Amino acid sequence: MSTRIDPDLPTIVFDLDGTLAETAPDLIWTLNAVLAEIDLPPIPFELARDLIGAGARALINRGLAADGRELSDEDVEKLFNRYLEIYDTRLCVETHLFEHVPESLDILRQRGHRLAVCTNKMEYHSLKLIDALGIAPYFSAVCGRDTFAFCKPDARHLTHTVIKAGGDPGKAIMIGDSRTDIDTALNANLPSIGVPFGYTDTPMTALGPDVLISHFRELPEAVMGLVRRG
């Protein structure tokens, strides 16, 4: 996009799963496909949705724990690699953007903000999914779990994402749906905006984001409020 970036404005950094997009159906389908390969029953969607939020490896471990199965680290790593292989064919079958995401991204870019994605999803899958969802042109950087040698809630995952986007790592706002996102912002001494419709085992109201919104249409005003507060 050719919209002029205002260097005085903070970079707006988004989580992906449960923040920009409802990815649970395809993530859970893939998890159950992997569990079926080791003869475990599927986890119902309404239970499995709460297992999402910390990346694929954590999702597998949580899925195994839900079924009471313990595996060696080597076997978990094999399942993880198999998960990535299957998920690559299932990235955007039922996945969809939350309502008003493109409109909000457009408003923020028109105002001059850099936009970026910082996710614990693998970078390749993140790039591929964002492209499939039609929002890739909005982002100056998309950084996944494997982009750097560290990942959320490590503050460097967020600050290095901002740097890769061309922004000031001390001037950014994190948008997310889980404790991981809010903790990452806190660790980086940066403000956060929480959304309550994603994947978290603790209600967003209890996680203490600087601002809580209930719908993406509220995001541009929430960002503006934080900018005004400095």
∠ CA 215-217-220 to the nearest 5 degrees?
A: 115
Q: For tokens 């603790």, what's the residue? A: 202
Cα–Cα dist 168/180, whole Å = 22
Find the helix or strand (DSSP H, E) in which 172 lies: strand 172-176
Could you count the other beta carbons within 10 Å of the beta carbon of residue 74? 7
Q: Beta strand pairing status for 21-22 and 172-176?
A: unpaired
Catalytic residue among 6, 8, 15, 17: 15
Whether 201 is catalytic = no
Give the up-direction half-sphere exposure of residue 160: CA atoms within 13 A in the CB hemisphere: 16
What is the set of active-site residues?
15
